[in-house]
Amino acid sequence: MNISVLGCGRWGTFLAWYANKIGHNVMLWGRETSRNFIGLKDTRRNDYLSLPEDLELTSSLENAVSFTEIIIISISAQELRSFANRLSSLNEIQGKTFILCMKGLESTSGKRLSHVFGEEVGKNINTAVWVGPGHVQDFVNNIPNCMVIGSDNIEVTKKIVQELNSDLIRFYYGQDLIGNEIGAAAKNVMGLAAGMLDGLNYSSLKGSLMARGTREISRLVRAMGGNDVTVYGLSHLGDFEATLFSEHSHNRKFGQALVEGIEFGKLAEGVATIKALRKLSIQYDVQLPICNALFEIIFENKNADETLKNLFLRPVKFEF
């Protein structure tokens, strides 16, 4: 079938490459002035992969939307609202299925991305999310992984999975949008913490971070009406290897660079997500001590070593 991908950064370009590889006709959209887009047009490659000749590139949003019934979006999460607003002016979006391949929450409101998208584009469209572990560098070397696709409509979820499943990506049907979206966004925040631990020579603490981080996020998901078990699935815990341990993770590298006093220039979604989680922590009256410590380090310039060590001074409590 025809598939369009909107967003030609690291992940969007991979998604287009993947959809083409498994047999779909693909159109990849990027902004006309985008360095990513211009580079792809000129060389048909980026730092990670080469695009086959039959994959179409366009900078016309109208063309990309008219091309297909299934449209994948992968841009910076904080830009989704304005981008969705732009899409909402196109009549062609009516009745189509959009798949959000992003990991974040709106930093000013704490809203999930499917919520933000729905607010801007209205009701007469289907929205799904596609999250879970995976780095371009691994997939293009034929190393498979498992991911999850979820929506509010199981028939929509099944149809997307049927079109996108392959021996490179095994999909599971998501059953809990709240858990999948909060989990996917929050794993980036845990990735920032992991990078700080690496930079401070406390890498051995990453096991504890995994145990206490999942617990903290599962409390929030439950308070928000989701299923706390989802946090232990592919969208959160299942993504820890790719984020807390991988040399490819931008969030982990951001955290490490921060404590080493180096600037990290690439998109680390977890940074904006920390602000969203702080809002949700207050709104739902759930304590998020790890996220809170990261807020203090990143936005209040507190000393990372001391602030992380302070987590040890909290009162003793039951594990579960």
Q: Which residues are catalytic?
A: 187
| Amino acid at site 77 | A
Residue 118 in tokens? 């729905």
Residue 175 in tokens? 């059953």
Nearer to ligand 13P by Cβ, of 125 and 210: the residue is 210
Nearer to ligand NDP by Cβ, of 241 and 296: the residue is 241
Q: Is 10 annotated as a binding residue?
A: yes
Site for ligand 13P in 130-149 (CB under 6 A): 133-135
* C-alpha count within 13 angstroms, C-beta hemisphere, residue 182: 32
Nearer to ligand 13P by Cβ, of 67 and 171: the residue is 171
Site for ligand NDP in 70-89 (CB under 6 A): 74-77, 79, 82-83
Number of residues that bind ligand NDP (CB under 6 A): 26
Q: Is 34 in the site for ligand NDP (CB under 6 A)?
A: yes
Which segment (227-235, 238-246, 278-286, 299-307) binds ligand 13P by CB under 6 A?
A: 238-246
- What CA–CA distance (Å, rounded) separates 185 from 169? 20
Cα–Cα distance list, 173 to 162, 234, 320 (Å): 10, 11, 28
Q: Is 279 annotated as a binding residue?
A: no
DSSP β-bridge partners for residue 58: 29
For residues 252 and 246, the answer to whether their CB atoms sit within 8 Å is: yes
Q: Is 106 in the site for ligand 13P (CB under 6 A)?
A: no
Q: Is 206 in the site for ligand 13P (CB under 6 A)?
A: no
Smallest CA-to-CA distance from 259 within 297, 290, 289, 296 is with 297
From ligand 13P, ligand NDP, none, interface partner of 191 (C-beta below 5 to 8 A by class): ligand 13P
DSSP-derived letter for residue 216 is H
Contact characters 209-248, ligand NDP, x per CB under 6 A: ----------------------------------------
Cα–Cα distance list, 128 to 93, 108, 112 (Å): 15, 22, 12
- What CA–CA distance (Å, rounded) separates 27 from 56? 5
The only residue of 2, 22, 25, 36 in contact with ligand NDP, by rule CB under 6 A: 36
Residue 44 in tokens? 């048909």
DSSP-derived letter for residue 77 is G
From ligand 13P, ligand NDP, none, interface partner of 249 (C-beta below 5 to 8 A by class): ligand 13P
- What CA–CA distance (Å, rounded) separates 102 from 85? 17
- Shortest reach from residue 197's CB to ligand 13P, in Å: 15
Site for ligand 13P in 248-307 (CB under 6 A): 248-251
Q: Is 15 exposed, middle or buried (0-12, 13-18, 19+ CB in 10 A)?
A: buried
DSSP β-bridge partners for residue 71: 4, 98
- Shortest reach from residue 168's CB to ligand 13P, in Å: 14
Q: Is 269 in the site for ligand NDP (CB under 6 A)?
A: yes
Q: Which residues here bind ligand NDP, judged by CB under 6 A? A: 7-12, 30-31, 34, 36-37, 74-77, 79, 82-83, 101-104, 131, 134, 267, 269
**What are the binding residues?**
7-12, 266
